[in-house]
Each structure stands twice: as structure tokens, then as C-alpha cells.
Structure 1
Amino acid sequence: MQSQDVAPRPAPASGSASDPVVDVEQAEAALVEHYPRLVRLAYLVLPPGLGRNRRVLTAHALTQRALPRGRTATPVIPAQSDGREGDPGYAFVRLQVVRTALEAGLPLRRKAWPKRSQLPPLLPQVWGLRLFPRSGGADELALDQRLSALTGPARAAYVLRGLEKLPDSDVRGLLTAAGVADADAALEEADSAQAEYALLDSPEFDPCSLQARPTDLMRRRQHMKAALAAAAAVAVCGALLGMPGDGWGPDGAAAPSYAQNPSARAALDPALLLKVPAAAWESSARTDFSVWPARGDLTGDSALLRRALAVWARPGETVQVSATPGTPSGGPSGPPQLLYAGTVDNARVVILYDGLRIVRYAEPRDSTKGAALDFARVDGADRADADAVVLGRADGNVRYLTAPWVTKAADRDLLKPGSAATDLALTEGTTAPMAGPAQSGPCTSWNALQLTDASGTRLLTDLGELVPARLTTGRPGSVKDASGVGALRAWAPYACSLGAMRSAGVRSVNAWAYATQPLPDASGTADWVCTRAETWQGGGERVLAQFHTPGGSYGAVAAKAENVPACGAKDPQVLAGVLWKSGAGTWYLLAAGSRGTSSINASGGVRATADGHLLAAKAKQGVQAELKGTLEDGRAVSGLR
């Protein structure tokens, strides 16, 4: 049962004569312009107990019903984002969204008619699909759990602070206008949740960017044919449930299904799973996941494989589903390839491959409840990309399944390039558990997986996804694996910055030392390094320009960007700057461009120009400057910010 989130709402006070008057056209303009933000606001305030599909549809319904019926006066609670300050239309619509979202969390009463917002929305409706936002990372999941523990008013206060950037006085006024009896108590309760407001902009909480899962299409037809079709459905279900062994009734954590065409049945039949012979990779022209043999102690467990396939095709409401960005999460189009089925620590794990995706199904060792389904896009993988897959994580440790061509595995701390790697036992391609990179707290180590085969040695790092990311060094277009002594030393100061690239569908990360710069006041020489994460989807690349002074343990992030060609094979040029304080106490603006930069110009808080690819100019603490560079071929390049 849901707890009561909001005290009974008093009748809203009518606007005063001095309040701005809002008409339908003005409110509609604000709603259309800021619709994604308003829907996100409603989604976050709604009680998580509704379930993600109903929560999405309810958020859209409440937002679309927020228009006034005519002209109305409303107190303006200003927004803090560009384009919305003092807009009474936006203020009115936002107030309506918050009010109805809070009402939706009220329990139904026996002696009172339910409010419209407490009932499932009539519109919008999506027939034949379940919709929910894209899955985020561990941080988003933890925040969602903390928000679910708050009452509705406290959840609204947290979201208005973080998403709308409203001061507490305005939050208090808005909650009071929305019918909250004790706004001060709501603000105090919101203080108990960690203020990770940046996560509210995550795709995890975006009900306008959705994933879709099929519902039962046959059931929709049955509703149109009334009793006759219902009787047929009962007969069909009874026959299917009565089939021995390979019947197509509900499977563990899978949602029920009644529609089974021949191709769907073939894709979900464990007997048709593709199992590659153990030595196939040795003679194959391809060296990727398609030549991995089936391994594990449960490859013959038809019941487990059948459950894994059924959950993949139609995950139930209790299944935890995650997918890397850009990865479709629908069912298989045909019989997939089995890579692994076995016991990993306290779970039964099945790993499948369909040519586009790696899919991992995991369930507790002694139950089918609490199942998890993870997707990772791996199309276009080559030998270096198909070296390993994460089997499982437990107690801060990671266990991998390695490619059949891997002959040796080891654990290496990137922060200690001079230390030897620690060998990991390999049992039928499965590694012994190794410590994963730290998820929180100070970065005192960064453990990477070192794999060796006949072609050489490679380093891979766990970034919270199914497929670890490959680490490389060198100028874009001519990178090499980070395995030699020089490459390990090059990565050591920047390993901790890999934490900023978690859960982004990263395929590889390259570290390129693009410049060295003599420091003013005889302070030695600093290194400029660009780290670029390439993704499996071919978009969403993350670029960090980092600055490392002599004697420093870590590089400092000077600038970062996403979805830019800088520091990549298509455009290896990069320019970045940083404010730096010398040992003599003088502040400087330092900037460096990559090879081929003929001049750098700084404007804004610092005005300076330098020929060549390096700039050093005296500055004041806290100033901001804009960098522009000119390349030797005359092209302009902007500084990363």
C-alpha cells in the first residue's frame, strides 16, 4: 500500500487582482516550449510505486491536462533557467503539474470519489507496448531508491530545488499553493536525501526518451472478441501449460505470453541455440564473439536456458533491465548463440549473442525471483574488442569470461605502473575474481584486466557494463594497446578520470600526450593529455583535456566535451587551457594546442596572444577566458570547455 504523501488539499485560493493573468494560449505556449521539462518534473514527483510504464503515461497525462479552462490569475514563482524567468504561463502550468502529481500519490478513500489524477490515465495510451525511460547507472538507481523513500511533498521539494533551481522560499510557496499542508516539513525531509541534483537530468528520469517492450498482442484481439475469444484463450493457455517440458507458458521472471508464431518459437527454443565448437576460432576467418564456444557447467540445463530466452523476449515487471546507450533491448529475431551458462558465485548466469548484442541473464542460485537482464551493443567487434565479457560482480569484485584465444590473464593497478601484474587463474576461460575499480571515495587504485594471446597483450577496464573498455595510447589514427612500460606510465596520472566515462557504452579509451609545456617561474614542465572515449553506438564520445604538473600524482581535468570530433581520428586537433598558480604565488593562464597549431588567442578575463601551440599569460584567480586557435592550414579551432 502507498503511504499518504499529501495532506488533504484545501481549496486553492483564487489569484489576487495584482497577480498576472494567464490565458489558455499563454499557458499552451509555455507547455509546448517546456514540455520535456514539465513531464520530467511530473515523472520525478509521482510515486515510484506506480511502476515505470504507468508513471510515464501518467506524467504525460498530467502535463497535458495542466492547461487552464479560461483566463486565470496565478502567483508567479520564478524559474531559474533561461527562457522561463517571470513567465506566468510556465509558472501556472508547473503549479498544476506539481499539484496533480502530488494528488496521484494519495491513497484512495472508501467514502470519497477518487480524483482524476489518482486513476490510470485515459490518454495518452499506447496499445501493445510498455514504455519506460532508458536505464541509467548505479548512481541514478541509488538516487531513485532514495527518492522513493521520501513522501510526495519531500520528493517534490527535492525536485524543485534540483531540477528547477528554486530557492527554498519559492519551493515553500509553490508547495503551499499546490496544497501541501506543511511545506517546511517537506523541505526538512528533503534535506535528508543527498543533494545529487545533476543526476535529475539523467536519461533514467527522462519520460520523453523511452524504450519499448511488447505486451501481449493476442490479448488485445481477445478483448475485441469478448466471450468467444476469452474462451479460446483459456483453451489455448490450458493446452500450452499442459505441454510437457517445452510448453510456452510463463517462465520464471518472464511476462506471460500467448502469441507464438513459428519464428518466435524458434528464437525461444533452447534446443535451437547455436553452440560453436571449441576449436572453431582457430580456423575461422573471423575472430570475434561469433566464434566463442559455449562454456559453463549449465550449458545442458534446458530449463535455465528456456527461462533466459523467455525473459529476454518478454521481461516481467520484477526483472531489472539495463542496456548501454544506443542498444536495442527487444527480443531475439532468431535463435541466438550461447556463449556461457553456468554458476557464478551465488547466481546462475546465461550469456547469449545475436550478432548485434551481448545479453546476460542472471538469477539467484536458489530462486527465479530477482532476475536481471543486461544488454550491450557489440556490432563490429574485432579480436581486440571481443577479448572478455563480465560474468558477474559481487562484493566489489569482478569475474570475466575471456575469449578462447586468451592464454593468460592478470590484474594490474594502473596507478602503479612500476609494479608487476598479479596473475589470475583461468578455468575454461573464466577468471578468478579480481577487485574492480573503486565506485566511490578517494581513487587510490584502478585495477585493470590484462589479457595476453598470440598477438600480444591488452589492457581492459570495467566501466560498469557487460563488455570492458579497451585502453590505448598514441596519436589518434595510430593508437596502440596500453601494455608497454611507456604506455603504463602514460596512463598512470589519468586512470582515475576513467570514472567519468562509466555507463556510457564505451568501446575504447585512448590517452594521447598532445603537448608538453615549460611552466613559468622555473617550475618545470607540464604534460597535456587528451583522453577520448569511443562508444559502440558511434556517438556520445567523451573527451577530457588533462593537465599534469611535475610531481603531481594525478592529472587535473582542464576541459571536457561530448559529441565533438576533437582528439579523434577524424579531427585530432585539440586546444585547452587552465588557470595555474606557480610556487611563487602568481596565477597564470596556460593553454596548449596539438601539433599543427600556429597561434592561440585568449579573450574575456585574460587577453593574450601567442605564436605556436603554447600560451602562458599572467591572470587573476577565478577569471574566465575563451580560447581560439589557428591551425597551420588556416582553419580555426576552439578551446574545449
Structure 2
Amino acid sequence: MQSQPSQSPSASGPAPVLDVEQAEAALVEHYPRLVRLAYLVLPPSLGRNRRVLTAHALTQRALPRGRTSGASAAIPAQQGGAHLRDPGYAYVRLRVLRGALDAGLPLTWKALPRRAQLPPLLPQVRGLRLFPRSGGADELALDQSLAKLSGAARAAYVLRGLEGLDDSGVRSVLTAAGCDDADDALEEADEVEARYALLASPEFDPCSLQARPTDLMRRRQHMKAAGVAALATLVCGALLGLPGEGWGPDGAAAPPYARNPAAQAALDPGQLTVATASAWKRSARTDFSVWPARGNLVGDRDLLRRALAVWARPGETVQVSATPGTPSGAPPGPAQLLFAGEVDAARVVLFHDGLRIVRYAEPKEGTSGAALDFARVDGASGPEASAVVVNRTDGNIRYLTAPWVKAAAVRDLLKPAGKAAPLHRDKDGVTDPFAGPAPTGRCTSWNALRLRDDTGVVGTSTDLGELTPARLTAGRPEAPREAGPADWAKSACSLASVRSHGVRSVNAWAYARQTLPEANGAAQWVCTRAETWRGGGSRSFAQFETAGGPAGAVAAKAEDTPACGARDPKVLAGVLWKSQGGNWYLLGAGSKDVASLTTSAGDRVQGNVIAVRTERTARARLSGTLADGTKVSTLR
């Protein structure tokens, strides 16, 4: 590991009592540095907009509450720059670091949330998304590497690189911040290459920001919904004051709020729609509307009544989740029953109301700890309507498969040469449990579900934290095909970045191949695009993959763009690459309709690939031109 200047803590005597003015002066003087530290340590899963706001909030809350504080004695004075020797700076840095580490802790029902775990009250920005300026491929690679570390390991890496502390100093700061095992954090941080100069990049500067609007259509819909909700609250409040008994509580459901004939019909188990066992065979459609009701509890009216009641009015103890863009309101009318049965240690009910799949689950004993999940499935057909999650336990998944599914198997996408393992299903179409993709940590395997329908077509899908798996395809965006064993071998790990985003399908398109300089073999450029059920929020990644190398490196990424999709099947990306001989090159590739490429340094080539000798610290930009003269910029 690259050596650092010696800046070990000194423990000569107790630190003086800290005055609040001293801490405020340090915070104001070093505010950009402290906010950058918080931004780098905060978990990337928060998203760049929330990371920016949270980093500023944590820094602004770092001042001591009283006029003085003795907490500075917890951190010995540092050797090195003047700001490191300032006890005021050491104190506010420790407060910022504690908050950033707390923000990465998972929320549990066993303890009250800490302030840093909740979205910041201030600052708030409405109508805009804020994020730092995009950096180069090196910054993207470092950001991905840091995202795989624990919060304490990220803090160790940042304290080394941004603050210049040696391991002894890092250990003291982490221990004072509440880290249980600073040595483990240091060892984990050693796994990331020591490219500390990149931490000063604009990519990690939450004080120099770009602004984009939020989803304007959704914002307008939310305003309308808020108005309707306010009116409904007034009406329901008036109805609650009327005489009469109304509904009683049902299991984990909240008390009723109104008497309404349409709502009562939607909550009557006898009104549920049920497809016959052979409806799918006679129908021209292959969607959820022709799924028969299955499970050993389809006749349990009490269970169905509780499930419908909780759907209409979930109580305070019910864990409710919904994929982005999915309404979580009561059923608009009688829903369709897909499944009701015992799965592992739970009773599970699945409904379909034409727009959503709704999953209700309760323990076999009692109703405490009931859960209610919503996911959009409007327009789902064929492979997109072939499986629904019935249960997740300890990282394992069980699916309920469509009646037209004839065989199921599991394949590790990272091992294209391996065989798919057959997956047993019971008489109702429920699969045996199998390991899903790990939500965090190292990407050493990525299991996908392979289903063969009654026509012999095999579809591949994967769990991304939703009720329905995301369909995996490959090929040109305007004509995707079912994914084959080798299509996702080096791109599968990038799927972790679109987990729990309401993803409908993900397509991997190898849009260019390139011979590498100095006879270093060949590489291919792959654009991975995730489409969502709600239409907006799509994500595209351009990845650079070398033959025989490890997983592809993300060269560029973008959100809410038609690039690399059916509407605009064009893409361009570039990356800095080091040859085996130690020379640096700017490599770039565009889709086949790109006729020429130009760098900001003036280099120009005909065709859709480029390789230009450059320097390690170069910040060259790349642009392309189509045959008709239209300019194409890199994916961003």
C-alpha cells in the first residue's frame, strides 16, 4: 500500500475544553472539506441527491449544543497541517464522521432511528435534483469500489486519502467515532487501490453541483393526489362523526374510516375474481388475468377477509412497501385472487387488480408482523407475467410461476459455461427456495431464473428486490431477444445498481468491438439499459469489457435518457485505459451509426472506435458524428 506521511496522534496531556466559537470558526473555514468527507462516507445507496443534502445537513449539525464542550478531548491533537492540529476542526470532523456512519446503519424495529438515519429536515430543495459534476472513468471506478465497502472502511479510506492520516491516526478517529473494529475497517480499505488524488475530483464535491428538475409529470400528479387526499380526509372525518357501528378491526388492519358500498364490495372475499384452471389455454393473452387461483388456503375466507381489510387500511404495525411509481391505495373494486397458501412460516395471499400485484403475508400464528407489498405490472405479458415472489427468507427466494410454465431452472450468470440447475416446483407452481443475488458485498455469483413455457421458449429473469423479477434480454434495443448464457457474464454485477427501482426489464447490447493497442487483445463495449414499469427513471450504463478480463468497468452512466433505448438506439462512451506495457490510452466507441470520432485534443478518426495515446492525468473529452453530420455526445 502507498505510504502516507506520518501524522499519528499525540497523547500528551488532555485536550482543552472546546469553545463553541472555536468549533464554529473551524466549521466555516473548512466547510467544503467537511462536506466532501461526509459525502464520501455516506452510503451510495442513498442516491446522489440525498447524499448531497445529507452531507450538508450533517456538517451543519456538527456544532456543540452548549457554549463549550469537553468532547474534543476524545480526539488527540494531530500532527501535520494547521487544520489537523486545530482541536475545533478535530471535534467537528468527528461529529460529521459519526453522523455519516450512523446514516449507513439499517433501520430496525428493535431500536428508535438515529437522527442521521432519517432524511434531513434542512436543507431542503423542492422541484430539483442536485448532484456533483460527473468525473471521468477513474472516478466512476473509484466510486464503485467505495460503494462495495462498509461505512467504516469507506471512512478509513477517506481519512487516509483526504485527511492524510496514517493508520494509527485513522484508528484513533474511527474508535472515537464509535467503530467497533477499526483494524477490520483498515484491512477492508486496503482492498481498494490507493488512488487518493481522485478524492479531490469534482465528482465527489457536494459544494459544486448540477441541478435537474424532478419528474414533472409525477410532481403534478402528486399535487393532484394531495388535493384529493385532503378532500378525502375531510369527508372521512365527517363520516367518522356519524352514528353507527361501521366495520371492526380485521387482524392487522386499521379501524375503518367510512361506510361505502363500493369499498365494502371490494373487501368481500365472495366478490373476488377467480380464473378457471384452463382459462389460460383458451385465451389469446398470457398475462396475470388468466392465472388461476392456487394454494391450499384459497377457501379460507377469514384469511382473505383479513388480507383485503389490511390492503384497504393497513394498521400501524403493518410493514408496507411499494416499488417506485406504484400507488399503495385500497382496491378500486373486487380484485383477482392468484394465490393463498402457506409458504415456509407464513400465510401468503397474492392479488391482481389490473394495475398491481399485491402481496399480503402474516405469520402462521397470529397476525402481528403482517406485511403488505405493492408492485406495478400494467401491460405485463408473456415472460414479464411468468413469476411472482411468494416469499423471501434469509436471502432465498420462492416464486409462484405462471400456469404455462413447464420447467424452471437456476443459472449463475457469472458462469456462462456452467449448466442451469433444475428447480423443483410443487403442484401449485411454487418453486423450491434458491439463493438470490446478494444485495450488498462482493459480487461473486448472480443467480437468474430460467423458465420454459409451453411453446418451448426459455426466458431469463432476475430478482431485483421487487415482487416480479426483471426480464433480461440482449441485442439491439429496437429488437431485443431472450438473453443467452454468455450475454450477461460480465455485466450481471451492474444489476445491483438498479435494485429496488421498479425495473421491468434490462437489456445488454454489445454495440461495438475494438482491437486494443500494443497487441493487448480485444475488448467490447456493452450498453446496459434498465426500463421501469412507470416509464420514467430509466438507467443506462456503458461498460468496457476486455476479453478474458474480469467484470466490465462502467465507463459512463445516465438517467432518464432515451440513449441506448428503442427510441434512440445510439450510444457513445470513452475510457482511460492502461496497456500491459504501462502506456495510457483514451479508448472510445460508438454504435455502428457513428461515422467518426473526435477528441477535445483534436484527434479525429473515421469509424466508430478510437484509440489515442494520452497521459494518465488527461481529461480528454470525446464526441461523435453520424453520417448525416448529426453530433453525438458521450452518455451522461
Q: Specify if TM > 0.5.
A: yes
In 1, distance between residues paired with 2:557 and 2:514? 20
Deviation of 1:95 (Å): 7.3
Contact between 1:409 and 1:449, CA under 8 Å: does it hold in 2? yes
After superposition, the C-alpha distances for 1:251-271 in whole angstroms (9 at most, x for unaligned) are: 111111141210000011111
Counterpart amino acid of 2:306?
A: R
Counterpart amino acid of 2:501?
A: A
Aligned to 1:295: 294
Counterpart amino acid of 1:493?
A: K
Counterpart amino acid of 1:524?
A: G
Aligned to 2:588: 591
Sequence identity (%): 55
Query: 1:541-556 alignment to 2 at 5 Å?
Result: 541-556=538-553
Of 493, 506, 509, which residue of structure 1 is paired with 2:506? 509
Counterpart amino acid of 2:552?
A: G
Contact between 1:336 and 1:353, CA under 8 Å: does it hold in 2? yes
Aligned to 2:611: 616
Deviation of 1:157 (Å): 11
Q: Is residue 327 of structure 1 aligned with residue 322 of structure 2?
A: no
SS state at 1:430 partner? coil
| Cα pair distance change 1:400/1:97, threshold 3 Å | farther
Aligned to 1:60: none
Aligned to 1:399: 398
Q: Is residue 632 of structure 1 aligned with residue 633 of structure 2?
A: no
Counterpart amino acid of 1:329?
A: S
In 1, distance between residues paired with 2:436 and 2:333? 35
SS state at 2:625 partner? strand
Contact between 2:103 and 2:117, CA under 8 Å: does it hold in 1? no
In 2, distance between residues paired with 1:599 and 1:362? 56
In 2, distance between residues paired with 1:97 and 1:331? 45
In 2, distance between residues paired with 1:312 and 1:543? 35
Counterpart amino acid of 2:465?
A: G
Q: 465-474 vs 413-422, which deviates more?
A: 413-422
Q: Is residue 221 of structure 1 aligned with residue 238 of structure 2?
A: yes
Contact between 1:154 and 1:190, CA under 8 Å: does it hold in 2? no
In 2, distance between residues paired with 1:221 and 1:311? 22
Query: 1:201-600 alignment to 2 at 5 Å?
Result: 220-221=237-238, 229=241, 233=243, 236-237=244-245, 240=246, 248-427=247-426, 428-455=428-455, 456-482=457-483, 487-600=484-597
In 2, distance between residues paired with 1:549 and 1:388? 34
| Cα pair distance change 1:297/1:150, threshold 3 Å | closer
Deviation of 1:501 (Å): 1.3
After superposition, the C-alpha distances for 1:217-247 in whole angstroms (9 at most, x for unaligned) are: 6662268xxxxx4xx54xx23xx5xxxxxxx
Contact between 1:347 and 1:362, CA under 8 Å: does it hold in 2? yes
SS state at 2:284 partner? coil
In 2, distance between residues paired with 1:573 and 1:153? 41
In 1, distance between residues paired with 2:605 and 2:621? 14
In 2, distance between residues paired with 1:536 and 1:299? 29
Contact between 2:266 and 2:335, CA under 8 Å: does it hold in 1? yes
Where has structure 1 moved over 4 Å in runs of 4 or more?
A: 94-99, 139-142, 145-160, 184-195, 207-219
Aligned to 1:63: none
Counterpart amino acid of 1:471?
A: L
| Cα pair distance change 1:572/1:219, threshold 3 Å | closer
Corresponding residue pairs, total? 481
Contact between 2:103 and 2:118, CA under 8 Å: does it hold in 1? no
Aligned to 1:106: none
In 2, distance between residues paired with 1:156 and 1:567? 33
TM-score (norm 1): 0.67
In 2, distance between residues paired with 1:449 and 1:611? 42
Contact between 2:528 and 2:541, CA under 8 Å: does it hold in 1? yes
In 2, distance between residues paired with 1:144 and 1:219? 32
Deviation of 1:494 (Å): 1.1
| Cα pair distance change 1:149/1:623, threshold 3 Å | farther
| Cα pair distance change 1:360/1:577, threshold 3 Å | same
TM-score (norm 2): 0.67
In 2, distance between residues paired with 1:462 and 1:152? 32
In 1, distance between residues paired with 2:630 and 2:546? 30
Query: 1:5-16 alignment to 2 at 5 Å?
Result: none
| Cα pair distance change 1:343/1:436, threshold 3 Å | same
Deviation of 1:488 (Å): 1.4
SS state at 2:485 partner? helix
In 2, distance between residues paired with 1:443 and 1:185? 30
Aligned to 1:48: none
SS state at 2:536 partner? coil
| Cα pair distance change 1:220/1:157, threshold 3 Å | closer
In 2, distance between residues paired with 1:290 and 1:578? 47
Deviation of 1:280 (Å): 0.3
Counterpart amino acid of 1:381?
A: A
Deviation of 1:625 (Å): 2.7
In 2, distance between residues paired with 1:468 and 1:538? 17
In 1, distance between residues paired with 2:275 and 2:607? 56
Contact between 1:477 and 1:568, CA under 8 Å: does it hold in 2? yes
| Cα pair distance change 1:267/1:391, threshold 3 Å | same
Contact between 1:389 and 1:401, CA under 8 Å: does it hold in 2? yes
Query: 1:161-180 alignment to 2 at 5 Å?
Result: none
| Structure 2, gaps ≥5 residues long | 1-19, 29-38, 43-50, 66-101, 124-129, 133-154, 156-171, 190-203
In 2, distance between residues paired with 1:268 and 1:98? 54
After superposition, the C-alpha distances for 1:134-156 in whole angstroms (9 at most, x for unaligned) are: xxxxx999544499667659989
| Cα pair distance change 1:154/1:500, threshold 3 Å | closer
Deviation of 1:624 (Å): 2.5
| Cα pair distance change 1:547/1:80, threshold 3 Å | closer
Q: 252-261 vs 395-404, which deviates more?
A: 252-261
Deviation of 1:351 (Å): 0.5
In 1, distance between residues paired with 2:532 and 2:276? 31
Deviation of 1:192 (Å): 7.0
Counterpart amino acid of 2:448?
A: A
Contact between 1:98 and 1:156, CA under 8 Å: does it hold in 2? no
| Cα pair distance change 1:153/1:307, threshold 3 Å | closer
Aligned to 1:136: none
Deviation of 1:608 (Å): 2.6
In 2, distance between residues paired with 1:555 and 1:633? 32
| Structure 1, gaps ≥5 residues long | 1-11, 21-40, 45-78, 100-138, 168-183, 224-228, 241-247
Contact between 2:104 and 2:117, CA under 8 Å: does it hold in 1? no
Deviation of 1:364 (Å): 1.3
Aligned to 1:134: none
Contact between 1:150 and 1:189, CA under 8 Å: does it hold in 2? no
Contact between 1:299 and 1:342, CA under 8 Å: does it hold in 2? yes
Query: 1:32-71 alignment to 2 at 5 Å?
Result: none
